[in-house]
Structure 1
Amino acid sequence: MAQLTGGQQQPVLILPEGTSRYLGRDAQRMNILAGKVLAETVRTTLGPKGMDKMLVDSLGDIVVTNDGVTILKEMDIEHPAAKMLVEVAKTQEDEVGDGTTTAVIIAGDLLKKAEELLDMDIHPTIIAMGYRQAAKKAQEILDSIAISASDRDTLIKVAMTAMTGKGTEKARKPLAELVVDAVKQVEENGEVDKDHIKIEKKEGGSVDDSMLVQGVIIDKERVHPGMPKKVENAKIALLNCPIEVKETEVDAEIRITDPSQMQAFIEQEEQMIKDMVDKIVSTGANVLFCQKGIDDLAQHYLAKNDVLAVRRVKKSDIEKLSKATGAKIVTNIEDLSEEDLGNAGKVVEKKISGEEMIFVEECKEPKAVTILVRGSTEHVVSEVERAIEDAIGVVSATVEDEKVVAGGGAPEVEIAKRLKDYSESVSGREQLAVAAFAEALEVVPKTLAENAGLDSIDTLVDLRAAHEESPYMGLDVFKGEVVDMKEAGVLEPHRVKRQAIQSAAEAAEMILRIDDVIAAAGEEGGEEEGMEGMGEMPPM
């Protein structure tokens, strides 16, 4: 309020009309509630016995999945604090490809524990500092319990763990082997570029029919029916330019005064096309992939020369072909030579579920491979594809880091146990925050137990007792008992856990430090769209 002469009081408006503002504890409670609600949403999908979500968008398209990041991306989330947790899941997906649900539920539980501390009148900054200390210590503990391994057997176990509960149960082992072979094939100097593993999906058949092709599958068909369907010992040319007569850049006018000139003009154009095809054939190429168009006449000449040609191939596919066959991508036909050609054992056009596809197979030491994913329906194939992408992510991380940790909630219980001991050495109120961080990590084994229909408290008690003996004891949800996860072969990459704990802690810390939410008015005035539902989030 501003004091005016004459004793009148007039409000001073700093923010425009219609702006909503939440201060102090209100802002914190609201943001924490949003985080908790989001974590609760994905919680039921965690673990081998997690359930799936069916998401229907405004157009009626359906996605059935239990992949954390897919659920959060498909949900239309308005709340700003909830959006920050979605970012956590996206980062987790980009960095390691798995563990998205874990990251979000840890963040949700960290916020839940923080709320209890805020009710005890502990300042948010102190909680955030305590969480930061705890996260740092958690990383050290995680490093100390990591297992060094990157042999094929371990990689298959890691891939199978990532796929468990993703709708690929019955074909887990063969799919895991496909993924491991693919990652091993494209690995260069200890690094894996996941872009070089192409996933091509086609419904029809069963998941068991999925296969790994030592080369590339192109979802296209031959440009001319007269071309061979199969080429053995393929010599492959990759072109980045069209095989047609160039149109002039400027508007040119050609005056033709008698019919013979017209004929000569057409013949000249035909000759140019024929010369282009002759140039390609003279290098010894018998398969041609072109990123641009191929003229009808050129198709005819290529077919006469028994060259299998495909046009309008995606740039990414051309690059993968180059990696797989060793061919160079050529921009000018004149420059094409025999050295630019790549090799493949065979190039075949096959019909898969009613559509023609070109298989470039049997490449020698290809640095790009393709996994063909099959499944009975479109939704099944999509979910298998997501499982395979997660598996590729975890296997790549394991190949690069050569470190794994036990699964089944074992690392979380061990870190929680040691963090509680560590908290006693922390002075000041941060001690309570470190202890809260430790408790929050136990949400992972608790959720695994709940999703398997077990009693979460009994399970946690059993796990804590077992961890007095070994840091690798985790929950086998199928047997409903605590077993040694290292021996059971349930392994996860060290990087997945490290990233999940780190990003969850950072997100919780950031949300805790917000004490004022100022939301601009929406387009039509009144409440801002992003804040709708802020006060009316579902009760926990």
Structure 2
Amino acid sequence: MKLDRGYISPYFITNSKAQKCELEDPLILIHDKKVTNMHAVVKVLEMALKKQRPLLIVAEDVESEALGTLIINKLRAGIKVCAVKAPGFGENRKANLQDLAILTGGEVITEELGMNLENVEPHMLGSCKKVTVSKDDTVILDGAGDKKSIEERADQIRSAVENSTSDYDKEKLQERLAKLSGGVAVLKIGGASEAEVGEKKDRVTDALNATKAAVEEGIVPGGGVALLYASKELDKLQTANFDQKIGVQIIQNALKTPVHTIASNAGVEGAVVVGKLLEQGNTDLGYDAAKDEYVDMVKAGIIDPLKVIRTALVDAASVSSLMTTTESIIVEIPKEEAPAPAMGGMGGMDY
């Protein structure tokens, strides 16, 4: 399950490189109100300490006194602990917490049922195999809840989706269903050395981010052709004066640059490739630099996430707009590299 909330304080971080808090086999306290009582927090910490397990607290909020107690125990006593705000609001938050309790085999500590933090017992705490908490979200792996109870809860949510007449309620119910029934994959990266493992891990992370972006907004043909064909659409744009016309031409030239650069780096005349692609009408056709041939980019698997292309274009436009309204720009003077000195003659080589 993934919660759309991250750690309350960066002091909970255990992995400084990834800026994440990672807890193995933690106990999970789920509370639907603010955690304000310092003594109640200490009691739960003692439970975790006796079992020699980390502690994850999911609550509406953790106020300063209780939060300070958690942080001090983390820093001075070395207790692995993390606090996360409960996702959602109102009734939706309560439902999310109940889903989490069923998934992890715990109970929601709620005053509505006459429960409070002072009377928490070990069997009320949930657990899971691993929790990873970042600044923005929390991922709970392999909850210890009863599989049958989880499936019954999922069926209950499906029925609620079918019976709901509100689009908003349906959306929230579907989000809950996706979190409850969704799976999580663990990728194990190996290599001959630490440097190789790190390099592979960075590649996998880039691939995952690209995949997430593609799922969000879809894909377009890669290799710069999406921007290239977008430049043709600007021909239809009606301009009011000469200055606007020049501006459109500048943008068109910029949109053609990625394909031109890719072709030039492959040892081919970039202008020729750009011209050939713009002459024909198939917007999926592009230049495969690795094979030195024109191919259907989508069928060849050469694609880009639309979100990446769009944000790059928006950011470039933002920077360009800033530069056009700036009175002066300070840059470093490029240094000309001196040619390598000639090698001196070596003695003992005469005949």
Q: What TM-score, normalized to structure 1? A: 0.35
Structure 1 residue aligned with 2:93: none
Equivalent residue, structure 2, for 1:387 = 203
Q: Which runs of 5 or more residues in structure 1 are unaligned?
A: 1-185, 194-199, 201-215, 221-234, 241-248, 250-272, 282-286, 297-310, 348-359, 518-530
Closer, same or farther: CA 323–485 of 1 in aligned 2, 3 Å: farther
Match of 2:151 in 1: none
Q: 1:238 aligns with which of 28, 40, 52?
A: 28
What secondary structure sits across from 1:471 in the alignment? coil
Distance change (3 Å), C-alpha of 1:239 and 1:312:
farther
Alignment partner of 1:469 out of 272, 278, 281? 281
Query: 2:214, 2:305 within 8 Å by CA — same for their partners in 1?
Result: yes
Measured after TM superposition, the shift of residue 399 of structure 1 is 2.4
Tell me the secondary structure at the aligned position of residue 309 of structure 2: helix
Is contact 2:103–2:143 with CA below 8 Å preserved after alignment? no
1:488 and 2:304 equivalent? Answer: no
Match of 2:231? Answer: 416
Say if 2:233 is the partner of 1:443. no
After superposition, give the CA deviation of every residue in 1:408-444 in whole Å (9 maximum; x if it has no partner). 122111012222x235655332101101210111111
In 1, Cα distance between equivalents of 2:23 and 2:212: 26
Q: What is the CA–CA distance in structure 2 between the aligned matches of 1:455 and 1:507, rounded to whole Å?
A: 29
Q: 1:162 aligns to what?
A: none
Whether the 8 Å CA contact 1:239–1:288 is kept in 2: the answer is no
Report the CA distance between 1:316 and its aligned residue. Answer: 7.9
Backbone CA RMSD of aligned residues: 5.0
Q: Runs ≥4 in structure 1, deviation > 4 angstroms?
A: 216-220, 276-281, 316-319, 322-325, 327-334, 360-370, 423-426
> What's the counterpart of residue 267 of structure 2?
453
Provide the secondary structure at the position in 2 that maps to 1:288: coil
Partner in structure 2 of residue 177 of structure 1: none
State the TM-score, normalized to the length of structure 2.
0.51
Q: Which residue of 2 aligns with 1:404?
A: 219
Match of 1:289 among 32, 50, 54: 54
Seen in structure 2, the aligned counterparts of structure 1 residues 277 and 423 have a Cα distance that, compared at 3 Å, is closer
CA distance in 2 between counterparts of 1:492 and 1:508 reads 23
Does the CA contact (< 8 Å) of 1:327 and 1:341 recur in 2? yes
Name which structure has the greater RCO, CA cutoff 8 Å, separation 6+: 1
Aligned equivalents of 2:318 and 2:223: distance in 1?
A: 24
2:313 pairs with 1:498: no
Where do residues 183-222 of structure 1 align in structure 2 (5 Å cutoff)? none
Instruction: Give how far 1:456 is off.
Output: 1.8
Structure-2 separation of matches of 1:289 and 1:366? 25
- The amino acid across from 2:232 in the alignment is K
For residues 341 and 535 of structure 1, what CA distance do their matches in structure 2 show? 57
Question: CA 1:506–1:333 in 2, change beyond 3 Å: closer, same or farther?
Answer: same
Counterpart for residue 338 of structure 1: 123
- In structure 2, C-alpha distance between the alignment counterparts of 1:377 and 1:218, rounded to whole Å: 24
Q: How far apart in 2 are the matches of 1:382 and 1:316?
A: 29
Structure 2: 5+ residue stretches without partners:
7-14, 31-38, 57-72, 87-99, 110-115, 131-140, 148-180, 337-351
**8 Å CA contact 2:106, 2:127 repeated in 1:** yes
Contact 1:279 1:333 in 2 (8 A): no
Letter in 1 for 2:209: G
Residue equivalent to 1:326: 104
Q: Distance in 1 between matches of 2:286 and 2:5?
A: 30
SS where residue 442 of structure 1 aligns?
helix
CA contact (8 A) 1:449 1:456 kept: yes
Per the TM alignment, residue 489 of structure 1 is displaced from its structure 2 partner at its CA by: 2.5
SS at match of 1:488: coil
Distance 1:426 1:409, change over 3 A: farther
Any residues of structure 2 matched to 1:9-48 within 5 Å, and which?
Answer: none
Name the CA distance, whole Å, in 2 between partners of 1:314 and 1:372: 25
Question: Structure 1 436/462 Cα, relative in aligned 2: closer, same or farther at 3 Å?
Answer: same
Q: Could you tell me whether the CA contact under 8 Å between 2:189 and 2:201 is conserved in 1?
A: yes
Within-5 A mapping of 1:29-428: 237-238=27-28, 288-290=53-55, 292=73, 312-313=79-80, 315=82, 326=104, 334-343=119-128, 365=181, 370-401=186-217, 403-419=218-234, 421-422=235-236, 425-428=239-242
Shift of 1:332: 6.2
Supply the AA of the counterpart residue of 2:230.
Answer: I
1:461, 1:323 → 2: CA distance? 61
Q: Which has the larger radius of gyration?
A: 1
Would the aligned equivalents of 1:238 and 1:328 in 2 still touch at CA under 8 Å? yes
How far apart, in 2, do the equivalents of 1:288 and 1:416 lie?
58
Cα deviation for residue 490 of structure 1 reads: 2.1
Q: Is the 8 A contact 1:462 1:482 kept in 2?
A: no
Hey, what's the Cα distance between the residues in 1 that align with 2:324 and 2:297? 35
1:85-137 per-position Cα deviation (integer Å, ceiling 9, x unaligned): xxxxxxxxxxxxxxxxxxxxxxxxxxxxxxxxxxxxxxxxxxxxxxxxxxxxx
Equivalences, count: 235
